[in-house]
């Protein structure tokens, strides 16, 4: 029944059903379910250690969930065997620590998966990489190595690297947590631009104002569950959302 629902809902890019994950006796995710429509941006907020990053990693199976299912464009990502390598291309991931390939130039960082995974010819990969670097405003850094970049530039390269695979959804795992406010801004600008261009995105972030301004829905996670969820408008202007408001207030206090 659920299979048919997913298949019929053509608008739905990503669907997460009853996802559970424990590390040893620690329950990290418990019965997480939600679906993401095409072009939608969802922001995940909440205290540290509530499973936000684990949730993203379970979606592209970098961490294997204990139970539950993930669907991408109506196809099951969980239990997909070697086909997971195809699904991962379609779910671009951006990490807190950038994780650029340190031995490769910026250009090669964006090209390498096109060449090795897609088997794209070099000329085509070069063109694609240049296009993606232009998109994040870093075409002039193509020949630099990651060690020569600022944190903000490095993160934008890592976004370009993920975008090069033409993903259906982007997963941002605290993309600005390692950056100072100024560099945070330049990365958030890029993410905002992607949102405007209609990219489907899941963003784990501690940037509350950004989350409220860019997301279609904000999900507040606590103890491995989605405690509260709503549109930014409802959260800011409506009643309820006590826990989320308390949490946001606590964070904004020090800004």
Partner 1 sequence: MAEALIPILIDWLPYLMQGILLTIGLVAAALAIGFAIGLPMALGQIYGAKPVRYVIEVYVWFFRGLPLLVLLFLFYFGIFPALGLDFPALAIAIVVLGMRGAAYQSQIFRGAILSISEGQMTAARSLGMTRWQAIRSIILPQAMLIALPGWSNEYPIILTDTAVCYAIGVMELLTRTTQIVSQTYLTMPIYLACACVYIALNYAGMKCLNMLENKVMVPGFGHAST
Residues that bind partner 1 (CB under 8 A): 60, 62, 82, 85-86, 88-89, 91-93, 95, 97, 99-103, 112-113, 116-117, 144-148, 158, 161-162, 165
Residues 6+ apart with CB under 8 A from 58: 19, 21, 29, 64, 65, 68, 70
CB 46 within 8 A of CB 222: yes
Residue with Cβ nearer partner 1 (89 or 184): 89
Interatomic CA distance for residues 82 and 88, integer angstroms: 11
What is the closest distance, in whole angstroms, from the C-beta atom of residue 182 to partner 1 in the complex?
23
What is the closest distance, in whole angstroms, from the C-beta atom of residue 112 to partner 1 in the complex?
6
Residue with Cβ nearer partner 1 (34 or 145): 145
For residue 81, what are its two tokens? Answer: 């065997």
Compute the chain's Rg from CA coordinates.
18
Residue with Cβ nearer partner 1 (44 or 220): 44
Residue with Cβ nearer partner 1 (63 or 223): 63
Interatomic CA distance for residues 251 and 27, integer angstroms: 25
Question: Environment class of residue 139 by beta-carbon count within 10 Å: exposed (0-12), middle (13-18) or buried (19+)?
Answer: middle
What is the closest distance, in whole angstroms, from the C-beta atom of residue 116 to partner 1 in the complex?
5
What is the closest distance, in whole angstroms, from the C-beta atom of residue 5 to partner 1 in the complex?
27
Return the residue matching tokens 């870093």: 138
Half-sphere exposure at residue 38, Cβ-oriented, CA atoms within 13 angstroms: 8
What is the closest distance, in whole angstroms, from the C-beta atom of residue 145 to partner 1 in the complex?
4
What is the closest distance, in whole angstroms, from the C-beta atom of residue 196 to partner 1 in the complex?
24
Which residues partner with 45 through β-bridges?
A: 220
What is the closest distance, in whole angstroms, from the C-beta atom of residue 146 to partner 1 in the complex?
6
Residue with Cβ nearer partner 1 (103 or 255): 103
Which residue in 100, 220, 102, 213 sits closest to 162, CA to CA? Answer: 100
Residue with Cβ nearer partner 1 (100 or 133): 100
Interatomic CA distance for residues 27 and 15, integer angstroms: 21
Neighbours of 166 (CB within 10 A): 13
Residue with Cβ nearer partner 1 (119 or 181): 119
Please give the distance of CA 5 from its chain centroid, rounded to a whole number. Answer: 24
């Amino acid at each position: 029944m659920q299979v048919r629902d997913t298949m019929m809902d053509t608008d739905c890019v990503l669907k997460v059903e009853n996802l559970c994950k424990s590390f040893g006796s620690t329950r990290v995710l418990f019965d997480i379910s939600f679906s993401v429509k095409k072009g939608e941006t969802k922001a995940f907020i909440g205290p540290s250690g509530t499973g936000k990053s684990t949730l993203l990693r379970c979606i592209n199976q970098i961490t294997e969930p204990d139970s539950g299912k993930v669907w991408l464009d109506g196809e099951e990502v969980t239990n997909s065997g070697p086909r997971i390598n195809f699904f991962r291309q379609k779910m671009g991931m951006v990490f807190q620590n950038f994780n650029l390939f340190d031995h490769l130039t910026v250009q090669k960082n964006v090209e390498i998966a096109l060449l090795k995974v897609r088997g794209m010819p070099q000329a085509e990969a070069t063109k694609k990489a240049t296009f993606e670097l232009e998109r994040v405003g870093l075409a002039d850094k193509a020949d630099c190595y990651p060690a020569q970049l600022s944190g903000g530039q490095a993160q934008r390269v890592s976004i370009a690297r993920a975008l090069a695979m033409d993903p259906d959804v982007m997963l941002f795992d605290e993309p600005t947590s390692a950056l100072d406010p100024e560099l945070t801004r330049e990365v958030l600008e890029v993410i905002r631009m992607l949102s405007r261009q209609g990219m489907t995105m899941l963003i784990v972030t501690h940037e509350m104002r950004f989350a409220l301004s860019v997301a279609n829905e904000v999900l507040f996670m606590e103890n491995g569950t989605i405690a509260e969820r709503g549109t930014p408008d409802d959260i800011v202007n409506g009643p309820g959302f006590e826990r989320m408001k308390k949490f946001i207030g606590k964070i904004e206090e020090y800004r």
